[in-house]
């Protein structure tokens, strides 16, 4: 084991990676002739916007400088973020994408319901876009709301290839605002992403500088006594884990960006006093969960993942890569700080809402990082009675009698054949029985949770009891109920698994390259249960179909395309398999996806 890194060894650029405004070196590429009239800049800040039904996008390399060191980025039409695309519900859109890179590329329309051939995932929905070629995407928009688009090839998303996508409703928008801004949060590394990946494969906590210290030990000793402090430290050591492993990457390598601008650059969105402003937040990061707040303003959440929700007032919300939230604010002062701190608290992105350019407001100090608790690691067990076998997650279940479906770890655990009988609404959500596939007892898994927590009202580590109103999944309600009123016909349970020492991530202990597809029958209603056996929160994105989240007692809550699953948490949602074809399903943390937490879903 490597020695823990002390927090005081963080580089000087912590919290302010990017000492200048940063961004594209050569300026933004001009709008292409066929792209229709741009939306006025007052609606979109400094990100170019294209609107209409026909778009031309060019993918190329562009010089950037976010940290004082020039690098090459992967851009769309020469900008980071890529141009915001504004479309209208009901329209058929044509998007011609030309690849000027030396390697293949792709664009995935995140959260958009469309034919699988247009979904943009190489090897699953199409072959990809070869160098020098142009691929034409064409689909009809069946929805409205705030979405985004990004590459699904290699590490191109992390190197700048992402942008916002706004679909205006065909009918008058029930969300009324005088002005709006798209706010795309992302992260950037000067390192080659494959080099970063290699470091994580060699040492999973390479970028974690918030390791437990001697000072932490003495603090535990004064609070709990010597014996308990020693027992706590021994327990974490035996599990080969750290309670500070909140994120794989930190400000050691990341620069946190708001609309392609560093914290020092201070992206600014304008407003007039008395206006109601709609902020469309998109998390386009490769790795970072952001906790977003605007000190001095209440955030009224009105949309989640592009779908309108019953308005809920909060001070702060957390969202992971892939998720989107729309909020309304009513600013009255001259300037407010948009503050988005990384979940591991090593840095932040920030911008300003202001009445004129050049203004800024105070920037809040970053919260102190909070360690994971035993409830985060092991669920709802009585940890005072745990022996060492329970501590390392091995459990005591006899899996030798499990059927082939569980033994091969392919995740199609049909619970109707496991003694539950006919499936009814709410059954899986209230069940406390945990079944681990036999494949979870291999080298790709270093932890299993036998008593997961099912609550959805937990804002997550670092946000608990912070004195602010924080959004939780339990707060979200999609008006009108589920799209499909039928109860599920069967259940599929998947365990999110990993091994930090090997830096492998998987479903049921099986990485993508060794897995087989999950098969859904066209038109069937399925309950999917996700059980997180790892220490990290995973934003899980199912392509092509809506995921209808339910409460622990089976009540419909909200419709999502990306659902974050916290450590030691068990959640369930319903899916109607109404989209024929092959679809991707994966964790939207880029390195987790590339390390194996990815599956193919086939609807036939």
Choose one of 172, 187, 208: the last residue of a domain: 172
> Does a structural domain hold residue 457?
yes
What's the whole-number mean pLDDT along residues 569-594?
97
> Does a structural domain hold residue 244?
no
Tokens for 333?
């002062």
CB distance 85 to 50 below 8 Å: yes
pLDDT in tens, 195-243: 999 999 888 777 876 655 545 545 555 665 766 656 655 555 555 556 6
- The residue that leads in pLDDT, 427 or 47, is 47
Give the DSSP H or E segment for 235: helix 226-238
> Does a structural domain hold residue 70?
yes
> Does a structural domain hold residue 206?
no
Looking at residue 215, what is its pLDDT?
54
> Does a structural domain hold residue 141?
yes
What's the number of domains the chain is made of?
2
Domain that residue 152 falls in = 23-172
CB distance 87 to 140 below 8 Å: no
Beta bridge partners of 168: 88
- The Cα 149–Cα 428 span in angstroms is 33
CATH code of residue 556? 2.60.40.420
> Does a structural domain hold residue 378?
yes
- The Cα 388–Cα 235 span in angstroms is 8
DSSP assignment letter at 270: E
Alpha carbon separation from 206 to 3, 203, 236, 251 (Å, rounded): 11, 5, 18, 12
Choose one of 116, 151, 172: the last residue of a domain: 172
Q: What is the DSSP string of 125-165?
A: TB--B-TT-EEEEEEE----EEEEEE--STTTTTTT-EEEE
Alpha carbon separation from 11 to 14, 207, 254 (Å, rounded): 6, 11, 12
* Residues 551, 557, 559, 562, CA torsion sign: negative
Looking at residue 8, what is its pLDDT?
36
CA 238 to chain centre: 30
Q: What is the mean pLDDT of the chain?
A: 84
pLDDT in tens, 483-526: 999 999 999 999 999 998 899 999 999 999 999 999 999 999 99
Choose one of 153, 172, 191: the last residue of a domain: 172
Looking at residue 373, what is its pLDDT?
80
For 558, counting Cβ atoms within 10 Å of its Cβ (0-12 exposed, 13-18 middle, 19+ buried), the class is: buried
CA 568 to chain centre: 17
Alpha carbon separation from 157 to 22, 81, 541 (Å, rounded): 18, 10, 15
Looking at residue 501, what is its pLDDT?
87
Q: What is the largest CA-CA distance in the chain?
A: 72
User: Reduced to 3 states, what is the DSSP secondary structure of residue 414?
Assistant: coil
Looking at residue 391, what is its pLDDT?
34
Looking at residue 420, what is its pLDDT?
28
> Does a structural domain hold residue 166?
yes
Tokens for 63?
């010089």
> Does a structural domain hold residue 535?
yes
Q: What is the DSSP string of 73-95?
A: EEEETTBSSEEEEEEETT-EEEE
- pTM value is 0.85
């Amino acid at each position: 084991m490597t020695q823990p890194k002390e927090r005081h060894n963080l580089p000087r650029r912590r919290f302010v990676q990017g000492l200048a405004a940063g961004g594209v070196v050569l300026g933004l590429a001009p709008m292409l002739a066929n792209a229709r009239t741009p939306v006025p800049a007052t609606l979109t800040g400094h990100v170019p916007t294209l609107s209409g039904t026909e778009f031309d996008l060019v993918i190329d390399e562009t010089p950037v400088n976010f940290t004082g060191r020039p690098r090459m980025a992967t851009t769309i039409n020469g900008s980071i973020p890529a141009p915001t695309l504004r479309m209208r519900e009901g329209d058929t859109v044509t998007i011609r994408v030309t690849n000027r890179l030396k390697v293949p590329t792709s664009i995935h329309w995140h959260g958009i319901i469309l034919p699988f051939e247009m979904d943009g995932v190489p090897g699953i929905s199409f072959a990809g876009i070869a160098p020098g070629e142009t691929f034409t995407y064409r689909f009809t928009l069946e929805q409205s709301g705030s979405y985004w688009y990004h590459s699904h090839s290699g590490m191109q998303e992390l190197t700048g290839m992402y942008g916002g996508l706004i679909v205006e409703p065909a009918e008058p928008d029930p969300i009324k605002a005088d002005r709006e801004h798209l706010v795309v949060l992302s992260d950037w590394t000067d390192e080659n992403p494959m080099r970063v990946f290699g470091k994580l494969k060699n040492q999973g906590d390479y970028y974690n500088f918030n390791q437990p210290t001697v000072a932490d030990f003495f603090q535990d000793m004064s609070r709990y006594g010597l014996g308990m402090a020693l027992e706590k430290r021994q327990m974490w050591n035996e599990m080969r884990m750290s309670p500070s492993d909140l994120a794989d990457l930190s400000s050691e390598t990341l620069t946190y960006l708001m609309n392609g601008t560093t914290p020092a650059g201070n992206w600014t969105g304008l407003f007039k006093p008395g206006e109601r402003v709609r902020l469309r937040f998109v998390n386009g990061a490769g790795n970072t969960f952001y906790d977003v707040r605007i000190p001095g303003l209440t955030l009224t959440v009105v949309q989640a993942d592009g779908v309108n929700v019953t308005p809920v007032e909060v001070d702060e919300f957390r969202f992971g890569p892939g998720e989107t939230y729309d909020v309304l604010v009513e600013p009255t002062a001259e300037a407010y700080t948009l503050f988005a701190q990384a979940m591991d608290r090593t840095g932040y992105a920030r911008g300003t809402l202001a009445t004129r350019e050049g203004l800024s407001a105070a920037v809040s100090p970053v919260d102190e990082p909070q360690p994971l608790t035993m409830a985060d690691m092991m669920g709802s067990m009585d940890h005072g009675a745990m022996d060492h076998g329970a501590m390392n997650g091995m459990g005591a279940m006899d899996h030798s009698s499990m059927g082939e479906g569980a033994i091969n770890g392919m995740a199609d655990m049909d619970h109707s054949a496991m003694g539950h009988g006919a499936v009814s609404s709410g059954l899986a959500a209230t069940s406390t029985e945990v079944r681990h596939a036999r494949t979870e007892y291999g080298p790709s898994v270093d932890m299993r949770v036998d008593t997961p927590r099912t609550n959805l009202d937990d804002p997550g580590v670092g946000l608990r009891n912070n004195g602010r109103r924080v959004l939780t999944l339990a707060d979200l309600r999609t008006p009108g109920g589920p799209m499909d009123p039928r109860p599920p016909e069967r259940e599929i349970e998947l365990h999110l698994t990993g091994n930090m020492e090997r830096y492998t991530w998987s479903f049921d202990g099986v990485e993508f390259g060794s897995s087989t597809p999950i098969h859904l029958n066209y038109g069937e209603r399925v309950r999917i249960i996700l059980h997180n056996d790892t220490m990290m929160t995973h934003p899980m994105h199912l392509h092509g179909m809506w995921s209808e989240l339910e409460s622990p007692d089976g009540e419909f809550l909200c419709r999502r395309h990306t659902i974050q699953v916290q450590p030691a948490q068990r959640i369930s949602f319903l899916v109607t398999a109404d989209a024929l074809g092959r679809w991707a399903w994966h964790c939207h943390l880029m390195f987790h996806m590339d390390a194996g937490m990815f599956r193919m879903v086939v609807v036939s």
